[in-house]
Structure 1
Amino acid sequence: MRLHRLVLTNYRGVTHRDIEFPDHGVTVVSGHNEIGKSSMIEALDLLLESKDRSTKKDVKQVKPTHADVGAEVTAEISTGPYRFVYRKRFHKKCETELTVLAPHREQLTGDEAHDRVRSMLADTVDTGLWQAQRVLQSTSTSAVPLAGCDALSRALDIAAGDAAALAGLSGSEPVLIERIDAEFGRYFTPTGRPTGQWAAAIDSLKAAEADVAQCTAAVAEVDDRIRRHAMATDELAELDAQRDSVAERHTLAVAAAESVAALTDRLQAARTEAGAAEATSAAATAALQERHRLRIDVDARAAVVTSAGVAAREAAEAEGAGRAVVTAADAALAEAVEALRAAEDRLDAARHVVTELSEREEFDRLCARLARIDAAQRDLDQVTGEQAAITLTDKGFRAIEVAASAVDVAAAQVAATSTIVEVTAETELELLVDDRPVVLSEGQVHCLTVAEATALRLPGVLSARVAPSVTAADSHAKLDAAQQHLQDLLVAGGVASAADARLVDERRRELTARRDQLSATLAGIRGDDDIAGLRSRLEVLSAGRTAEPGLWDEVDSAGARAALEVSLAERKRVAAHCETQRKVAAAAAVQLVERGTRATVLREKAAAAADELTAITQRLVDARAIAGDDDLALRAQAAADAARLMGDRVVALSASLEQATPDVVAAELDAARTAAQTLGRRHDEVSRVLRDVTVELTLFGAEGRTGKLDAAQIRREHAAAAYARTRSRAQAAHLLRSVMARHRDNTRLRYVDPFRTEIERLGRAVFGPTFEVEVDSALQIRSRTLDGRTVPYESLSGGAKEQLGLVTRLAVSALVAKEDTVPVVIDDALGFTDPDRLVKMGAVFDLVGSDGQVIVLTCTPERYNGVHGAHRIELSG
């Protein structure tokens, strides 16, 4: 397979891109990130695999967001004998076009074009190889999956042909294996499940067995109905024989029940009459007892009236005595209250004197405290104001100190590096130094420190120019800069010199210490109190002072407090006595109320007892007017005799009913009735079942179920014979494929050698002459050996894995046949590779690229500068 041209239009962010690829060699397609390099691989996959109307997520994601148009992909591809141009438009006005250029020209559209391309690719392209020959950004360090690449297997079969001949092989094993796989595919799926003829034989046998089982069940159903018909006939005859005996039993049980019912009715009537006689006797007895109770109640009420009168008189006398006690207690309480009022007046006077003295002392303390606070605040304000006038801060002072030290250092460097010129006058003369006149007397010496170029001139005699060294000039410049920086800091600090700055800083520190001391003093005097609150309290105390000065000067504070204590004690004593008198008066009042209440209650009770005696006496007189006491006694005796006679009759009838055993009779009646009902229901049910079975047997006889069973058994025998034959062939195909698979695995172990040899040939260009690899039967690299040291593949670095992956894919490209080759697509790989190995990997690309097609997509084309024969394409936005 070869990719000759790829055109993208309105694909994601790509408006239009048209790239032609050489048939052979390495093509490096470069461009910055997000320009759409990886989209080219994605677009090719969508073109070959998805229909233009697909609504899959992968197709929806490639629709451009900047325009309401459909994405288009066009590719020119050659594979096997075919070369074709294939175009699709997705999303909008979906369209598919195919133009086959070789071996003969064809033009198709729509699903026919899609199916035609899929068919050509299925016939000519090893899909596993096409997927394995890609190096994507996310899988650049993963192992290369080559186990399912048939093209590589065929190439290695050919490469291992010499070894196969030495092993006695015919060389036709791949074709034989394909024929065996085809035969195996007639009976089994690739995963070993039955399919085709074998699955059809299994299904046919299962269907025949199910049919036999169904017919057998139908015949068994007929036998079951015959058996049920015979059983129902016998049971119906037996039920007919039981009908007479059950009817006779029911008649006898009904007669016995009627006899018991008659006895029960007579007993019920006797019990009713006995109940009436007992009620009459009870009423007569109750009337006699009520008369007796009235006589006793009259006597008892008379005694109560007598005792209530005596109690009422005694209560009235106690009430009079209590009233006298209350009068005396009220008089004592009034005297105690007056004494308490006088004691409280004396206490208020003593308390006023003490309060006045306390406020005078508090006033004096507050005046002294506020005076100390005001003095400390004045000193603090003075210190704060003086401190605020100092603009030099601690930070500024430290900066001046550092700058002064820098000036001293710079001056020392100037002194050490400057040129010193001494001029001695042999006669009185005038010397011009930079046009500045200097008058020298005879023998006078003038010294010049030259920090910069200086002109010396004797008018009319000579001119000289003294230039310092470069080091001296630099030192002088540093000195000037240091002095200027120092001067700036002095101006900012408000001082004239570094010495003044030291004096100002010392004064600032003294003021700070004094401010802290005064603040602490002020805080100690003030404490937790608010000054405004203290002044307000002072104003209150001042307003409450007496207007006569010296009025309280002679008053003794201790004596006033002692007098207050005496007044408090006296008031307490008098208050206790007053409270005692108040409790005594209250108790006397309560007692008087209780006695009055008792006297009233007893008087009312005596009156009520007299009224009750009168009422009950009248009731007794009225009752005797109706019937005398002797008449009531005679009536009660007669009613009792009648009730006793009726009771004896009830006892006799109860004994007769008990001898008739009513429970047994009732049970027998229920049993006989139930037996008759059960027999009738069973007879009806058996008759219905017999009719239903007769109808079913008539229908079954018309279906010919036995003949159907015979036919089903014959079909099962034929299906079992076909199953046995197909199973024999399927098992043979399975066994042959297993044997040949083992044979092929052994062969693969032999043709691992050519694959490993090709990897080592290419890898030695990168890793050196000691490079070796171990490859398993699945064509996976298990380990790498360099300089005799073997490292498992999983333990290699990301760069080494990436390099081995590329070498493996290039080796596959070199091994597979020309008609089976596919492009090697590399998406921004070698990111983990150092510069030295990048050059060596370029040599590997040159070794293999001339035979196959290698397409490299990268944002750093410099990685592939070592590929000398590469065709380079640069993408632009």
Structure 2
Amino acid sequence: MRLHRLALTNYRGIAHREIEFPDHGVVVVSGANEIGKTSMIEALDLLLESRDRSTKKEVKQVKPTHSDVGSEVGAEISCGPYRFVYRKRFHKKCETELTVLTPRREQLTGDEAHERVRAMLAETVDNDLWHAQRVLQATSTAAVDLSGCDALSRALDVAASNSRAAAALQGTEPLLIERIDAECGRYFTPTGRPTGEWAASITRLAAAEAAVAHCVAAVAEVDDRVRRHAELTERLAELSRQRAAAGPRLVAARAAADRIAELTNQAREAGLVAEAAAATGAASAAAHEARLRQLTEIQSRTATVAAAAAEAQQAAEAQAAAKAEAEAAAAAAERASQLLTDLQRRAESARRAVDHLAEREEADRLSARLAKIAAIERDREEICAELSAVVITDEQLRRIEDAASAADRIGGQLALTSAAVEFTAVADVELAAGDQRVALTAGQSWSITATGPTTVEVPGLLTARITPGATTLDIQAKHAAAQEELAAALEKAGVTDLAAARSADARRRELQGRRDQLDATVAGLCGEEPVDQLRARLAELRSDQPAEPDLVATDKDAARAELEAAEAASADAAAECEARRRAAAAADAALAESATRATVSQHKLDTQRAELDAAADRLGRERATVSDEGLTSAAEAGRRASEAAQRRVAELAEELAAAAPDAVAAEFAAAAAESKSLNDRHEDAARALREIDIELSVFGTEGRQGKLDAAQIEREHAAGEHARVGRRARAAQLLRSVMTRHRDTTRQRYVEPYRTELQRLGRPVFGPTFEVDIDSDLCIRSRTLDGVTVPYDSLSGGAKEQLGILARLAGAALVAKEDSVPVVVDDALGFTDPDRLARMGRVFDTVGAHGQVIVLTCSPDRYDGVTGAHRIDLNV
């Protein structure tokens, strides 16, 4: 399989991209992160595997988020005898187009085109090898598994065979294993569970055994019902006999309980009578006590009314005195308030005069500040004009310094790596080195440093050509590039050399410092207010000045003295006014308090008199109904009646206790419970017997024994089929295990060719002592260097990454030309040091000579060692 061209349109963040790949060699596709390098491989998978109408998550995720358009993927691919152009559009207006170019031209669309491509790939491409030959970012250090790649297996089988005949057998052995797997698949799933005919026979046998068990249980259920019918008949007869024997006990217990109930009713009635008598006696006693309390209350209220009258008279006199004092205090407060108002007017007039004088002084100060600011701004404009003429910037200076430093550093490296050749003359001689002529006398020496190809000639005698190594030439090229970068940076900054650049930068910094100092001075003069606001404030102050000439001539000290005198007099008047107001308020409060006290005293007197009159009226009405002597006699009679009723209650309680009511109640409850239990059990037995009669009548119509016989016959047939199919299934399983074991044994033969090829490619990278241990699944188990063996999982990330790439390149080198697929390396070798990067580059060149290797990277300098690489920069 070869990828010749890949085109993406509206794919994730890629608007349009089309890349053509050479048929052989290493292709390094470089670009920044998130530019869409990995997306190209993902797009190729979607093109080959997903239909254009697919709703899979993988297809939905590639739709652009910034526009409502369909994603398009197109590619030109060759595989086996076929070469075709294939394009799909996903999401919107879905379509699929296929043009087969060779071996004969075809044009298909839609699902027909999709199925045709799938058929061509299935015929000519090992899909497992295509996916295994990728080194992705997320799995760059994971061990590669090539065990399922049939193309590699065929190549290794041929490499491991000892004869042409052995190699010729390799086409039929996988077919035999596939037929064995297909036969085993009739009976078992890939995980070993029964399926198909074997699962059906197991299910049938289980169902037959379950049916037999069900029928046996049904027949046993009929037998159980017959047994229970006999038991219930005997039990019902026994319960009838027990019910007849329990009747006399219940009658005797009921009679004793009735006698206890009669005594209980009599005791309850006597208790009610005693309660009524006690209530009557208590009411008579309470009425007598209430009459005595009324007499005491009238005496107490008479004394209280007399005291309240004296208190009300004193409160009225105090109220009159407080009223006169409050009127005098209010008049004094009014006079003090008027005086305070006059003095406040005088102070306000003096304050306005002082404010106008202060505003005039502020206007003078503000005018001086604005004059200073104007002078500073003129100086700043001159500095800015001079600063605009300076071209160099911090970034340009850094660029010049970096370029000069790089040129010096690379020049030092060039001097260290360049060949120094010294010539010593044995006799007088003249040397020619380029345009330079050097005359040497006998014994004189002359040396030259060859930074590039240099020719030294002895005219008419010899010519010596000195060619530096590749490293020196590379450093010479870098030194020339550094010199060009320095010259370009100096020209852009408008200076001649580094010293001039630094001088210009120092002058620029000096001017910027002076400009910033002037800005700070202006900011200090302005404070938190801008210049325009200061000018507006000056205009406002000048407009607020009065036009009267006498104010301009007024002495500021005199105005302040007048203000202070007015404010002092106003303060004294305010204090006097406040004192008068407090005195008036205190007099008003005393008046209000005395008035409240007088009102409360009068109200209290009225209330006491009303309550005394009401108590006297109430006593008169009650005496008209019952006299004091009548209440006394009624209370005594009630007491005697209550005592007689209590004696009757005690007599009945003694009689009830002698009759043992608890024992009688217990006997009656036990007799009643026994009778109820026997009745319930008799009824339950009769109901159960009726239900069993009904069930037996229904069972007789179901033919359960016949169903049991039919189920047993079906079980015998299912058991026979189960045994027959089971023998075939176990035989297929046994054959598969034997063939698998033989296949694993055969695989051991082609591990060695794979290991040999992997070691051949790895020794230029790791050294001549490099060895690896490979298992039967072609996975690397360990690496050996200088006799030290380290398991694969214990290797560093860089070593794992390098071995993973070498394993894929070894597979690509071994497979037959018609079975080869591109090796894809996505942003790998990030853990590799520069020395091994150069060695890995030579390995890429070796494999790329007869295969296609596609490298996707954001750091193209990692692959500078791949000399024959075709480079594509996506950033351009």
Contact (CA 8 Å) 2:336, 2:576: kept in 1 or not? no
Contact (CA 8 Å) 1:359, 1:541: kept in 2 or not? no
Write the distance in 2 (CA, Å) between the matches of 1:244 and 1:271.
42
Match of 1:458 in 2: none
Q: Aligned to 1:844, what secondary structure does the other structure show?
A: coil
Write the distance in 2 (CA, Å) between the matches of 1:749 and 1:269.
114
Match of 1:690 in 2: 689
Determine whether 1:752 maps to 2:758.
Answer: no
Determine whether 1:844 maps to 2:850.
Answer: yes
2:298 is aligned, of 268, 277, 301, to 301
Contact (CA 8 Å) 2:253, 2:667: kept in 1 or not? yes
Shift in alpha-carbon separation, 1:189–1:153, aligned structure 2, 3 A: farther
Determine whether 1:262 maps to 2:262.
Answer: yes
CA offset digits 1:220-264 (Å, max 9, x no partner):
434533443343233223211210233223222332233233334
Q: Residue 232 of structure 2 aligns to which amino acid in structure 1?
A: A
Shift in alpha-carbon separation, 1:138–1:540, aligned structure 2, 3 A: farther
Q: What is the CA distance between 1:39 and its match in structure 2?
A: 12
Counting only pairs closer than 5 Å after superposition, residues 247-326 of structure 1 correspond to structure 2 as: 247-293=247-293, 296-297=295-296, 301=298, 304-305=301-302, 308-309=305-306, 312=309, 316=313, 318=314, 322=318, 326=322
Write the distance in 2 (CA, Å) between the matches of 1:191 and 1:696.
50
CA offset digits 1:651-672 (Å, max 9, x no partner):
3333333333445444444443
Counting only pairs closer than 5 Å after superposition, residues 476-491 of structure 1 correspond to structure 2 as: none
Counting only pairs closer than 5 Å after superposition, residues 864-875 of structure 1 correspond to structure 2 as: none
Task: Report the RMSD for the aligned CA atoms in angstroms.
Answer: 7.2
Q: Residue 298 of structure 2 aligns to which amino acid in structure 1?
A: R
Contact (CA 8 Å) 1:126, 1:149: kept in 2 or not? no
Q: What is the CA distance between 1:842 and its match in structure 2?
A: 6.8
Shift in alpha-carbon separation, 1:744–1:669, aligned structure 2, 3 A: same
Shift in alpha-carbon separation, 1:326–1:638, aligned structure 2, 3 A: closer
Shift in alpha-carbon separation, 1:366–1:266, aligned structure 2, 3 A: closer
Write the distance in 1 (CA, Å) between the matches of 2:762 and 2:640.
140
Write the distance in 2 (CA, Å) between the matches of 1:346 and 1:172.
128
Contact (CA 8 Å) 1:236, 1:686: kept in 2 or not? yes
Contact (CA 8 Å) 1:88, 1:95: kept in 2 or not? yes
Q: Residue 611 of structure 1 aligns to which amino acid in structure 2?
A: D
| Count of residue correspondences | 666
Shift in alpha-carbon separation, 1:545–1:74, aligned structure 2, 3 A: closer
1:132 is aligned, of 125, 129, 132, to 129
Q: Residue 252 of structure 2 aligns to which amino acid in structure 1?
A: L
Match of 2:400 in 1: none
Larger Rg, first or second structure (1 or 2): 1
CA offset digits 1:179-198 (Å, max 9, x no partner):
87677566544443345676
Write the distance in 2 (CA, Å) between the matches of 1:755 and 1:53.
42
Q: Aligned to 1:539, what secondary structure does the other structure show?
A: coil
Shift in alpha-carbon separation, 1:830–1:810, aligned structure 2, 3 A: farther
**Structure 1 stretch displaced more, 597-606 or 207-216:** 597-606
Write the distance in 2 (CA, Å) between the matches of 1:856 and 1:334.
110
Match of 1:622 in 2: 624
Q: What is the CA distance between 1:516 and its match in structure 2?
A: 8.0
Contact (CA 8 Å) 1:329, 1:588: kept in 2 or not? no
Contact (CA 8 Å) 1:363, 1:541: kept in 2 or not? no
CA offset digits 1:39-61 (Å, max 9, x no partner):
99879967xx98x9999898998
Shift in alpha-carbon separation, 1:743–1:366, aligned structure 2, 3 A: closer
Write the distance in 2 (CA, Å) between the matches of 1:564 and 1:86.
113
Shift in alpha-carbon separation, 1:161–1:782, aligned structure 2, 3 A: same
- Provide TM-score, normalisation by structure 1: 0.54
Determine whether 1:811 maps to 2:814.
Answer: yes
Q: What is the CA distance between 1:335 and its match in structure 2?
A: 9.6
Write the distance in 2 (CA, Å) between the matches of 1:178 and 1:588.
121
Q: What is the CA distance between 1:731 and its match in structure 2?
A: 5.8
Match of 2:874 in 1: none
**Structure 1 stretch displaced more, 607-616 or 231-240:** 607-616
Q: Aligned to 2:815, what secondary structure does the other structure show?
A: helix
Q: What is the CA distance between 1:648 and its match in structure 2?
A: 2.9
Gaps of 5+ in 1: 13-24, 79-83, 99-113, 403-484, 486-504, 815-821, 846-853, 859-863, 868-877
Contact (CA 8 Å) 1:135, 1:829: kept in 2 or not? no
Counting only pairs closer than 5 Å after superposition, residues 384-395 of structure 1 correspond to structure 2 as: 395=385
Determine whether 1:660 maps to 2:659.
Answer: yes
Counting only pairs closer than 5 Å after superposition, residues 53-452 of structure 1 correspond to structure 2 as: 71-73=96-98, 89-90=109-110, 129=126, 131-132=128-129, 146-149=146-149, 153=153, 160-162=160-162, 188-195=188-195, 199=199, 202-203=202-203, 206-207=206-207, 209-293=209-293, 296-297=295-296, 301=298, 304-305=301-302, 308-309=305-306, 312=309, 316=313, 318=314, 322=318, 326=322, 329=325, 341=336, 376=368, 395-396=385-386
Q: What is the CA distance between 1:150 and its match in structure 2?
A: 5.3
Q: What is the CA distance between 1:831 and its match in structure 2?
A: 11
Contact (CA 8 Å) 2:151, 2:819: kept in 1 or not? no
Shift in alpha-carbon separation, 1:162–1:196, aligned structure 2, 3 A: farther
Write the distance in 2 (CA, Å) between the matches of 1:643 and 1:276.
8
Q: Aligned to 2:148, what secondary structure does the other structure show?
A: coil
Shift in alpha-carbon separation, 1:241–1:757, aligned structure 2, 3 A: same
Q: What is the CA distance between 1:686 and its match in structure 2?
A: 1.2
Q: Residue 811 of structure 1 aligns to which amino acid in structure 2?
A: L
CA offset digits 1:612-671 (Å, max 9, x no partner):
575356436624xxx555455445444444444344333333333333344544444444
Report % sequence identity: 36
Q: What is the CA distance between 1:754 and its match in structure 2?
A: 5.1
- Provide TM-score, normalisation by structure 2: 0.54
Q: Aligned to 2:246, what secondary structure does the other structure show?
A: helix
Q: Aligned to 2:192, what secondary structure does the other structure show?
A: coil
Match of 2:474 in 1: none
Determine whether 1:611 maps to 2:613.
Answer: yes
Q: Residue 613 of structure 2 aligns to which amino acid in structure 1?
A: D
Gaps of 5+ in 2: 12-21, 31-35, 61-69, 72-86, 393-493, 495-510, 829-837, 857-865, 870-876
Match of 1:539 in 2: 546
Write the distance in 1 (CA, Å) between the matches of 2:347 and 2:48.
110
Contact (CA 8 Å) 1:308, 1:606: kept in 2 or not? yes
CA offset digits 1:145-190 (Å, max 9, x no partner):
6533557656755664548999xx9x99889877876775665444
Contact (CA 8 Å) 2:373, 2:522: kept in 1 or not? no
Write the distance in 1 (CA, Å) between the matches of 2:270 and 2:23.
132
